[in-house]
Amino acid sequence: MEQLDAQVKADLQKIEYATGNWSIPREKDGQKVLDVAIIGGGQGGIATCFALKRRGISNCCIFDAAPRGGEGPWITFARMLTLRTPKYVTGPDLGIPSLTPQSWYEAKYGAQAWKDLNKISRQDWQAYLDWVRDVLELPVRNEHRLMNMEWQDGLLRLSFECAGGERKTVWARKLVLATGIDGGGRWYVPPFISDVLPPSCYAHTSQPIDFEKLRDKRIGVLGAGASAFDNAATALEMGAARVDLCLRRKEIPSVNPYRWMENAGFLSYFSELPDLIRWRFMRRIYDLNQPPPQDTFWRCRRHENFAFHTGAPWTAVSRDGDDIVVTTPKGEMRFDFLIIGTGFTIDMALRPELAGIAGHVALWKERFTAPEDEPSAVLGDYPYLGKKFQFLPKDEKDPIAPMLSAIHNFTFSATPSMGLSGASVSAMRFGVEKLSFAIGRDLFVEDGDQHLKSLLAYQVDELVSLEPPPV
């Protein structure tokens, strides 16, 4: 690993041309103004910060609500054994070979171990991200939760809640939201569950779950996605008496559209398509949904006390003594505990940091009218973004329109507008290239006059002698 660290630094030195900081320093209320504040210290935030540094924008900082090492889902609520993407996928390395997951894995475990590897474990992926952060010396402030943002004098005033309840204010010219899958809303539990049962009776797949307490219990799982199967498998492996997984669809999804999307054309240029074509792409992708990987499915099926039930959506829940009674079109089912794998809902008003601007942001349903036979209430609720990942106003004359243009949405909620991006390992390299270019362009153009003055004042002589040196 020490040799790899040295190799990374040597490689970066070889390509450091024009990567020096060029931004013009600013202060506000005696405090340094960041060029870019990045919210989220997971893979998307790390890759964004590195990409900006490569473009000479080093006055940045990453903020994450979690303690160090707990950024993202990998060692918190992710319960898959491995990543779902192929091992050869690249991410925060931005195309630099010594920074790739393969280089890290071979340095840590050996070249043969990489050849023998099927997919990278989630624990190793987190360790890899921690290494990238350290070897690149990226600035990260952990235990900083963004609570509010305001627009003052052409700058973003960011209010953070820190460890111990301390409050901090940070000024920034640009903001990147790299808060992952639920960054445009929150994880979703159907009201017929949350309004009826106490929290002790159920948990969403995104929540901490004490699986040891589920030993010898009857577990009901709702959902058809990979996380539902991951949690079912974990419960089985921890000694649950029985696990029944129920899904609304009549068949378990089998086609994974993400594998089709992993081509440079889609990953680079999807956002350039007309609205109608983007809409049709996304309707198809969302209709297919993402199936559980084959190894995840067999991880459940190898247990005789596991069963899945298609065409069995839950329509109601109730209590009967200690039993949780679930109503389905196929009859009642009784459980001791429920695990909810129903994904997330897109609604920015549900996020504290976005609640103040949510009512001003344009949504797809407000900018695009779908053909009558191609509706999608789900897609309509997503924010309609500009070509730079920026929020757009519902009303162009809105006084906070300049503020919205300074906020770049690199979460999963950018998908209908931009395709796969910050919340996907598969698209990381392509998304951050577009995002970092756009941010750098805005910053440089805004300060164009001052850069011109810098040139006019430039008086560093290159020709210093008219006489040849002595032989």
Which of 244-248, 254-258, 355-359 bottoms out in mean pLDDT, i.e. has the lowest?
Answer: 254-258
> Average pLDDT over the chain, rounded to whole?
95
Q: Which residue has the tokens 């340094």?
A: 32
From the list 466, 350, 370, 351, the residue with the least C-alpha distance to 416 is 370
Q: Which 3 state secondary structure label does DSSP give 187? A: strand
Q: Is residue 85's pLDDT more than 90? A: no
CATH 3.50.50.60 fits 2-184+345-453, yes or no: yes
Tell me the average pLDDT across 366-370: 97
DSSP character at residue 222: E
Task: Give the model's confidence band at 86: pLDDT under 50 very low, under 70 low, under 90 confident, else very high.
Answer: confident
pLDDT of amino acid 91: 83
Percent of the chain at pLDDT > 90 equals: 90
Across the beta sheet with 218-222, what order do the strands follow? Answer: 202-204, 337-340, 218-222, 242-246, 306-309
Residue 427 binned pLDDT confidence (cut-offs 50, 70, 90): confident
pLDDT of residue 422: 73
- Burial of residue 302 (CB within 10 Å: 0-12, 13-18, 19+) is exposed
Is residue 107's pLDDT more than 80? yes
For 136-157, write each residue's pLDDT tens digit: 999 999 999 999 999 999 999 9
In this predicted structure, what is the pLDDT of residue 204? 98
41 pLDDT more than 90: yes
Task: Return the CA Rg of the chain.
Answer: 25
Q: Which whole-number Å values give the CA distances from 380 to 37, 258, 374, 415, 432, in the listed order?
A: 28, 21, 12, 12, 25
Reported as a single tens digit per residue, the pLDDT across 111-128 is: 999 999 999 999 999 999
> Taking the C-alpha atoms of 386, 388, 392 and 398 in order, what is their torsion angle to the nearest 10 degrees?
-130
- Give the mean model confidence (pLDDT) for residues 67-75: 93
Long-range contacts of range 449-458, CB-CB < 8 Å, 24 or more positions apart?
450/24, 451/22, 451/24
The pLDDT value recorded for residue 413 is 96
Q: Are 11 and 97 in contact (CB under 8 A)?
A: yes
Domains of the chain, by residue range, sit at: 2-184+345-453, 189-254+291-342
Q: Is 13 a residue whose pLDDT tops 90?
A: yes
Closest CA to 258 of 228, 281, 238: 281
pLDDT value, residue 415: 96
Of 91 and 58, the structure prediction assigns the larger pLDDT to 58
Residue type, 155: L
316-364 tens-digit pLDDT? 999 999 999 999 999 999 999 999 999 999 999 999 999 999 999 999 9
Q: What is the CATH number of domain 189-254+291-342?
A: 3.50.50.60
Cβ(327)–Cβ(207) below 8 Å: no
The span from the CA of 154 to the CA of 136, in Å, is 31
User: Model's pTM, two decimal places?
Assistant: 0.95
* Separation between Cα atoms, residue 121 and residue 20, nearest integer Å: 36
Per-residue pLDDT at 423 exceeds 90? no
| H or E segment to which residue 128 belongs | helix 122-135
Q: Tell me the two tokens of residue 67.
A: 């303690």
CB distance 274 to 209 below 8 Å: no
From CA 79, how far away is CA 132, in angstroms rounded?
Answer: 23
End-to-end CA distance of the chain: give it in Å, rounded: 48
Query: Given this chain, do its domains 2-184+345-453 and 189-254+291-342 carry the same CATH topology?
Result: yes
Could you tell me the sign of the dihedral formed by the alpha carbons of 374, 377, 382, 385, in that order? positive
Residue 258's pLDDT is 85
The whole-number average pLDDT for the span 380-408 is 97
Tens of pLDDT, residues 281-319 = 999 998 887 889 999 999 999 999 999 999 999 999 999
Helical packing angle, 43-54 and 122-135, nearest 10°:
30
* Structure-token pair, residue 17: 């041309």
Of 41, 23, 32, 2, the closest CA to residue 139 belongs to 41
What residues contact residue 288 under an 8 Å CB cut-off, 6+ apart? 253, 255, 256, 257
Task: Count other C-beta atoms under 10 Å from residue 153's C-beta.
Answer: 8
Distance separating alpha carbons of residues 43 and 26, to the nearest angstrom: 28
Q: What is the mean pLDDT of residues 266-295?
A: 93
Alpha-carbon span 327 to 336, nearest angstrom: 14
Please say if the pLDDT value at position 253 is more than 90: no
CA dist 23 and 173 (Å) reads 11
Note whether 457 and 449 are within 8 A (CB): no
